[in-house]
Amino acid sequence: MSAEPTAPAATNATPLRIGTRRSALATTQSGHVADAITAATGVATELVEITTDGDRSQAAGTPLAGAASTGVFVSALREALLAGDIDVAVHSLKDLPTYPAAGLVLAAVPVREDSRDVVVARDGLTLGELPPGSRVGTGSPRRVAQIHALGLGLELVGLRGNVDTRIGRVRSGELDAVVLARAGLARLGRLEEATEVLDPLQVLPAPGQGALAVECRADDAATHEVLRHLDHPDTRAAVAAERATLARLEGGCSAPIGALCDLVEGEEGPELWLRAVALSNDGSLSVRRAASNALPVGAAQWEQIGARLGTELAEEMLAAGAGDLDEPPDPGPGPIPPADDPANPSSHPSARSAEVHTP
């Protein structure tokens, strides 16, 4: 953690109630947060399991994609927090909507796990080793678009469910591979099941992937002070840049989006290096950009600098056509009318050509 922990306080008689989804991954993540709270402050904790709309739709096998999916794993936890049923909510940060929630504060972003995607494939294969036509499972339009863009001839199959369910479809032979977040396997102690870690040059992760978001009520100063010990300024600044990119692009397009920001050592000190991509759903078109920004000594302004960097990069991407990647295709020219025919658009002064963006 970024802050030096103070001497542990006496354990509270009433434990801090930490809300979590019921899945094995969610309870593991929340358990890590609970352990970190107690180690840093001596405050006792207990986990409170809550079922979200995302869990219910996942159990039903309902596809999850598009704007309607935003926050489906988050809303029930936030409602419980605002109602006072829990004191803290722990989310996978990539599930968190980019707009603020009234009455709540993002009190801590703990140090991030590796944000990359991984492949779990039959026979220990990598994506590149799978024969064309192999069936690869993922529920993420971002992964689908970027894997299509690799030109490997793979069949992408919609997939939901917990880690066991997804990997089980490979073990059963129903699928040849699945693509998952590395962080989830690492937290579950199952990283050895990955057959390949995907290079971000091939597949950029989701904004915020690998990071956790720890929320409390905005008026709960005591809990906020406890959670302050878990906050990691490097991670908070990086995910602020990624989420600002996503927020601005969401306002101008509905394309699959990947983003990754790293804090690196530049010539004059630390700096943020941000990469992002927006793609058409089939991966045939894309807009990719990168940008960096130096950071001042001390972390007080890093989050704001990251957010500004992300917004500026997204504006550049929109200017380059990121909002037009899935526009209906031009049907092409029909019969060419005579040059003096008023229906001939090429003779009109306003005639213009379209710009095409390719990977």
Helix (H) or strand (E) holding 29: helix 24-41
Q: Edge to edge, what strands does the sheet with 135-137 contain? A: 155-157, 135-137, 177-181, 117-121, 196-197
State both tokens at 133.
């036509």
Closest CA to 194 of 114, 113, 117, 141: 117
Q: What is the DSSP string of 290-329?
A: EEEEE--SSSTTHHHHHHHHHHHHHHHHHHTTGGGTTSPP
Give me the residues paired with residue 180 across strands.
118
Instruction: Give the pLDDT of residue 53.
Output: 57
Residue 171 is given by DSSP the state H
From 55, 87, 95, 176, active-site residue? 95
262 is catalytic: no
252, 322 in Cβ contact below 8 A?
yes
Q: Helix (H, G, I), strand (E, B), or coil: what is residue 53?
A: helix
311, 345 in Cβ contact below 8 A?
no
CA distance from start to end of the chain: 38
Instruction: Give the pLDDT of residue 345.
Output: 35
Question: What Cα–Cα distance (Å) separates residue 14 from each residue in 29, 31, 46?
Answer: 22, 18, 9
Instruction: Give the pLDDT of residue 160.
Output: 87
166, 159 in Cβ contact below 8 A?
yes
pLDDT of the chain, 359 residues: tens digit per residue? 444 444 344 444 689 999 999 999 999 999 999 999 999 999 999 999 998 655 444 444 554 444 344 566 799 999 999 999 999 999 999 999 998 899 999 999 999 999 999 999 999 999 999 999 999 999 999 999 999 999 999 999 999 899 999 999 999 999 999 999 999 999 999 999 999 999 999 999 999 999 999 999 999 999 999 999 999 999 999 999 999 999 999 876 778 999 999 999 988 899 999 999 999 999 999 999 999 999 998 899 999 999 999 999 999 999 999 999 976 555 555 444 444 443 433 333 333 222 334 43
Give me the residues paired with residue 88 across strands.
18
308, 244 in Cβ contact below 8 A?
yes
- Please report where in the chains the tokens 């947060």 appear, as a residue: 33
Closest CA to 200 of 131, 114, 283, 139: 114
User: Buried b / exposed e across 21-59, counting CB within 10 Å, b at 16+?
Assistant: bebebbbebbbbbbebbbebbbbebebbebebebbebbe
Q: What is the DSSP string of 218-285?
A: TT-HHHHHHHGGG--HHHHHHHHHHHHHHHHHHTT----EEEEEEEEEETTEEEEEEEEEEE-TTSSS
Q: Residue 89, Cβ neighbours under 10 Å: how many?
A: 30
State both tokens at 206.
């989701």
Instruction: Give the pLDDT of residue 141.
Output: 95
State both tokens at 237.
């600044």
Largest CA distance in the chain: 89
251, 276 in Cβ contact below 8 A?
no
